[in-house]
Amino acid sequence: MAPILDIKNLYKNYGSVEILKDINVAIEPGDFLVLVGPSGCGKSTLLNCIAGLEPITSGSIDIGGRNMTEVSPKDRDIAMVFQSYALYPTMSVAKNITFGMKVRGVDQATQDQKLQEVAQQLQIEQLLHRRPGQLSGGQRQRVAMGRALVRDPKLFLFDEPLSNLDAKLRVEMRTEIKKLHQNLNASMVYVTHDQIEAMTLATKIVVLKGGVVQQIGSPAEIYNRPANLFVADFMGSPAMNLIPARATKNGAGTQIEITREGAEPLVLTDTHAHDLPEDVILGLRPEDIAEAGFRAGEDVQTADCMIEMVEPAGADTFVVSHLGGKQVTARLHAETSALPGKNLSLAFDLGKVSYFAPDNGERLN
């Protein structure tokens, strides 16, 4: 099956400044691609290049098997949902949704049919007579999505559509977008700086930094096997613990030694690690550090650690210790007995560990 979107060797410059550098991304029909990264990483610029709103410096963009690099936005068979909603304030919701069809000469019966279908999907039937100024932020975003849905395009493009909403509504709308994707089996490209949005919505994630692709993969691949220190630190909340350590090969595998202030070094033995350099960065997610007795397995090793801070968070309790000169967060059960200033026996799951090179940040295992 040919990719619905195929970006090859794309570069985008503003004068002598490179904004996007050698971007290569392809998605299959029905994929939900999320472009994620910090502000200024180039994700919105890349979306605008896909839409044809920004000309590219070199490379190519194929949509539906057709080269669209030089094709105008209106002829790319795409629909875009903007952060700012971009609704016509003097038109009713119904007219906002059908306006594009009217301009394209779609007959009235088809307009009415598509309007009713989309209004039902988005649960905005009761809002069709209102104007945008009479709607809440969430309702306006549904209208903006409705205007895109009636087009039935090859590709939906979303530019940070939820960033103007409050936290609760953002979660609700995220669920709505996921439902829409599942129901329509549509191909979508979605830009966000929120890594939780990326993890929950995507079938494929592209992590960008400074206009360069850091990693492409499924949410599970990005989360469990980050390609470098940047991805490890950026994807996850709380972020992956990244602890400087010293690796020494021994008969049972590799001994990992982590310094501790005012105490003997923490020494762990990783039976799976081979050929590590002497200096490494050990990466372990907070959920892979548990209270002793709550995590079992051949790769689990326990050690007493001084707890500096305890943060109750409903179903979980986060505790912070100090290892390798870094704050290290563990995700414990809600009823933990952990207390600040007291030692607690923690279980480290070395079967889930990632190792990175301190010099270039690349993954080693």
pLDDT tens-digit series, residues 44-100: 999 999 999 999 999 999 999 999 999 999 899 999 988 777 899 999 999 999 998
pLDDT band at 212 (very low <50, low <70, confident <90, very high): very high
pLDDT at 173: 82
pLDDT at 364: 95
Strands laid side by side in the 212-217 sheet: 78-81, 155-159, 188-192, 32-36, 204-209, 212-217
pLDDT at 141: 83
Q: Report which of residues 204 and 100 the model is more confident about.
A: 204
Strand pairing class (241-250; 289-291):
unpaired
Is the Cβ–Cβ distance between 205 and 248 less than 8 Å?
no
Amino acid (one-letter) located at 33: L
331 has a pLDDT exceeding 80: yes
Is the Cβ–Cβ distance between 78 and 156 less than 8 Å?
yes
Q: What average pLDDT does the segment 308-337 reach? A: 94
pLDDT at 85: 78
Which domains are delineated in the chain?
5-234 (3.40.50.300), 241-356 (2.40.50.140)
Q: Where would I find the beta strands (DSSP E) of the chain?
A: 5-14, 17-27, 32-36, 58-63, 66-67, 78-81, 155-159, 188-192, 204-209, 212-217, 241-250, 253-260, 263-270, 279-284, 289-291, 300-313, 316-323, 326-333, 343-349, 354-356
Radius of gyration of the chain (CA): 25
Q: What average pLDDT does the segment 11-30 reach? A: 96
pLDDT tens-digit series, residues 296-305: 888 999 999 9
- Residue 108's region, left for phi above 0, alpha for psi from -120 to 50, else beta, is alpha
Strand pairing class (326-333; 253-260):
unpaired
Q: What average pLDDT does the segment 8-25 reach? A: 96
Is the Cβ–Cβ distance between 221 and 238 less than 8 Å?
no
pLDDT at 230: 98
Q: What average pLDDT does the segment 320-334 reach? A: 94
Tell me which residue of 14, 169, 13, 145 sits closest to 79, measured CA to CA. Answer: 145
139 has a pLDDT exceeding 90: no
Question: Of all helices (H) and strands (E), which one includes residue 233?
Answer: helix 229-234
